[in-house]
Amino acid sequence: MGPNVIILNAGQGKRLLPLTEETPKCLLDVGGKPMIAWQLQALSSFDVGRVTIVVGFGAEKVRSCIASIRPPSLEVTTVFNADFDKADNLVSCWAARDEMDKDFLLLNGDTLFRPEVLKRLLESRPAAVTVTIDRKRAYDADDMKVQCDGALLQRIGKELPLTAADAEAIGILYCRGEGHRLFRQQLQQAVAKPDPSVRWYLSVVDRLAERGIVEVASVEGLEWIEIDDEADLREAARVVASW
């Protein structure tokens, strides 16, 4: 059995209001399917373990949708993040900590991708933690920017200077071997001692990178899209039309 999968879908998606006033972001329609359906469809192409979806806003709507769209090959369950409206995805990660007792994939709920993206990550050189990246000509303040030395990740964060960015993280992480233990350990420390600079789970990865155990896997040339606002939603509908 392959790695467990954790998908972070607790947020409302306030940047997509009024579309998300009553509908959770992960249930918004993209090319005739809810966003979460595209992710589950891609995952069904691989031998993965249990898929755990962290829910929060509109949790019952998400659970109902999953029950109707779950691919037969996948075991899918949910965990509830009671602080979904008070904290960023660091807390959603912690809600799914029980799924981190073996190798696991961690997916942002707003990243849609072709199965080839996941294939490249799964076949990447084994490392304790692997961050999936892509490269483009220029980066902005909203990008989760990455600084690396070859395959070794040195820094990751939105606050990195634009001139220091070598790539951007696309929202898919792979913990292997001792990586799942080290990630959970660092995550526990971050939750136990709240630090304003540590709001995102990738802030935990930034700390782990200091140990020289985090690598990157580039998916340059492969199709994926992150959906933050209505412009992204329209672009996603265009992109998935050929999937």
Task: Show pLDDT as tens, one digit a residue, over the chain (243 residues).
Answer: 899 999 999 999 999 999 999 999 999 999 999 999 999 999 999 999 999 999 999 999 999 999 999 999 999 999 999 888 876 788 899 999 999 999 999 999 999 999 999 999 999 999 999 999 999 989 998 899 999 999 999 999 998 999 999 999 999 999 999 999 999 999 999 888 766 555 688 889 999 999 999 999 999 999 999 999 999 999 999 999 999
* Residue of 24, 95, 106, 112 whose CA lies nearest to 66: 24
Report H helices in the chain: 35-43, 59-69, 89-95, 115-122, 179-192, 201-209, 230-240
Residue 60 token pair? 């019952």
Rounded to 5°, the CA angle 26-29-30 comes to 100
CATH of the domain at 123: 3.90.550.10
Say what the pTM is.
0.94
Instruction: Count structural domains, the chain.
Output: 1
Distances (CA, A) of 150 to 21, 116, 165, 216: 43, 22, 13, 9
Report H helices in 123-200: 179-192
Q: Find out whether 185 and 99 touch, Cβ atoms under 8 Å.
A: no
AA letter at 218: S
Report how far residue 98's alpha carbon sits from residue 94's, in angstroms, rounded to the nearest whole number: 9
Residue 95 token pair? 């809600």
Residues in Cβ contact with 161 at an 8 Å cutoff, skipping those fewer than 6 apart: none
Rounded to 5°, the CA angle 215-217-220 comes to 145
Residue 155 token pair? 């820094």
Q: Is the dihedral of CA 204, 84, 170, 53 positive or negative?
A: positive
What pLDDT, on a 0 to 100 scale, did the predictor assign at position 195?
64
Instruction: Give Cα 82 to chain centroid, integer Å.
Output: 19
What pLDDT, on a 0 to 100 scale, did the predictor assign at position 193?
79
What pLDDT, on a 0 to 100 scale, did the predictor assign at position 198?
58
What range does the domain containing 112 cover? 4-240
What pLDDT, on a 0 to 100 scale, did the predictor assign at position 196?
55
